[in-house]
Amino acid sequence: MQADFTTLPAADRYRLLTNFIGPRPIALVTTRSVGGHDNAAPMSFFNVFSQDPPIVILGIQRRADGHEKDTVHNIRRTGEFCVNMVDMALADAMILCGVNFAPDVDELAFAGLPAASCRQIGASRIATTPCAMECRVERIIDYPSRAIILGEVLEMHVRDDCLDAQGRYVNPAVYQPIARLHADNYIVADRQFELKKPASMAPYEAARPALKERT
């Protein structure tokens, strides 16, 4: 099968891209509405792209009626948002937050998610998330059908049990995020494995003398 993306309709591009680029991490994005209540929406067009500066990116498309989603509306107004990572304990609530509610609905309250204050931004974070990142908008790239939002991470909150004994690295037995696959399919990171570079390239170099590892 071949697909020429220069002629393929956008809906088919979406189907193919989201079917094959996965699993995609899920950001449950919390923002503050103009009325002062909490808004929450899951976004799987999301990832980290840099640590210097620390940049995460969201891709948020317009609704079918052409209007911007509440998340984008709030981000444009406040210049801030919080990314809450999602594990199995938050999965059901995350799906509820993905319902297309009216802008005056507090999705955290609706989904039964406890809100906690952020330190550097006005939006709330989810108190029970394994990890929350307070972000300030670095820039927004506008396309007719969507906004690509670059956020600079100002502060990270990590639940203590998600860290190892030294508090430096993740505890993979506890932090097991879910991620989105195609359509309504998800995966949980409960089958992790280590893959290390070979300790020595000598056997490979012996087989192919021209092969030299760059230092």
Ligand X SMILES: Cc1cc2nc3c(=O)[nH]c(=O)nc-3n(C[C@H](O)[C@H](O)[C@H](O)COP(=O)(O)O)c2cc1C
* Residue 70 within binding range of ligand X, rule CB under 6 A: yes
* Residue 78 within binding range of ligand X, rule CB under 6 A: no
Q: Binding ligand X by CB under 6 A: which of 79, 98, 122, 172?
A: 98
Q: Binding ligand X by CB under 6 A: which of 25, 38, 45, 83?
A: 45
Which element (helix H / strand E) includes 89? helix 88-97
Contact by Cβ (8 Å): 181, 189:
no
* Residue 26 within binding range of ligand X, rule CB under 6 A: yes
Q: Nearest approach, Cβ of 59 to ligand X (angstroms)? A: 5
* Residue 32 within binding range of ligand X, rule CB under 6 A: no
* Residue 158 within binding range of ligand X, rule CB under 6 A: no
Interacting residues of 177 by C-beta distance below 8 A, sequence separation 6+? 25, 26, 85, 86, 87, 130, 188, 189
Q: Nearest approach, Cβ of 3 to ligand X (angstroms)? A: 21
* Residue 108 within binding range of ligand X, rule CB under 6 A: no
- Hey, what are 103's tokens? 């802008």
What φ, ψ does residue 141 adopt, rounded to 5°? -105, 115
Q: Nearest approach, Cβ of 47 to ligand X (angstroms)? A: 10
Number of residues that bind ligand X (CB under 6 A): 18
* Residue 95 within binding range of ligand X, rule CB under 6 A: yes
Site for ligand X in 47-66 (CB under 6 A): 59-61
Task: Return d(Cα 159, Cα 134) in angstroms, integer.
Answer: 14
Alpha-carbon distances, residue 77 vs 72, 122, 139, 153, 156 (angstroms): 9, 12, 13, 18, 22
